């Protein structure tokens, strides 16, 4: 709520400043030629500042897009690696169970695999939370 009030205050201040500057220019005792020159200079200055703000916005947007792309590709790589590890474990457990008389029952093996999957899922969830936290920190700046 306080951010909205601060934002509204800043916008109101800017609009009031612009209206005040225009009023001062129009009411000042200057010749028409001088007034037109002042208005032209002010318009050129506003155009330059707008161009600067636009360039900054494009740079920040591009930077955030690259950062999000890097983080998401890193996250996808982690998920893929973890999937392969789980696949290899399942394959190894299935191979060892079929090749020898294993003492563990199928239920015990399933429980172990589900525990491994849960721990891997927790790691992926932690990675996602870290990504979300870093994204929200960046958006707050």
Q: Where are the domains of the chain?
A: 63-140
pLDDT score of 101: 47
Residue 138 CB partners (closer than 8 Å, separation 6+): 64, 67
pLDDT score of 14: 86
Residues of the chain where predicted confidence (pLDDT) is lower than 70: 1-4, 30, 93-107, 138-141
Q: What CA–CA distances, in Å, run from 78 to 41, 72, 73, 125?
A: 56, 10, 9, 11
Which alpha helices (H) appear in the chain, and where do they start and end? 2-27, 32-99, 106-140
3 state DSSP class of 127? helix
pTM of the shown model: 0.40
The answer to whether residues 127 and 73 touch, using CB atoms and an 8 Å cutoff, is: no
pLDDT score of 82: 82
Positive/negative CA dihedral, 58, 60, 64, 66: positive
Backbone angles phi, psi at 28, to 5 degrees: -70, 145
3 state DSSP class of 105? coil
pLDDT score of 138: 67
The answer to whether residues 79 and 124 touch, using CB atoms and an 8 Å cutoff, is: yes
pLDDT single digits (tens) 101-128: 455 666 677 777 777 777 777 777 777 7
């Amino acid at each position: 709520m306080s951010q909205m009030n601060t934002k509204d205050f800043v916008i109101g201040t800017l609009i009031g400043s612009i209206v005040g500057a225009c009023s001062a220019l129009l009411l000042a005792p200057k010749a028409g030629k001088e007034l037109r020159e002042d208005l032209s200079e002010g318009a050129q200055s506003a155009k330059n500042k707008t161009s600067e703000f636009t360039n900054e916005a494009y740079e920040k947007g591009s930077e955030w897009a690259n950062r999000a792309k890097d983080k998401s590709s890193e996250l996808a790589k982690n998920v893929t690696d973890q999937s392969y590890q789980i696949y290899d474990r399942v394959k190894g457990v299935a191979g060892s169970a079929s090749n020898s008389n294993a003492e563990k029952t199928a239920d015990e093996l399933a429980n172990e695999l589900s525990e491994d999957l849960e721990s891997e899922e927790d790691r992926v969830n932690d990675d996602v939370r870290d990504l979300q936290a870093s994204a929200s920190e960046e958006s707050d700046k």
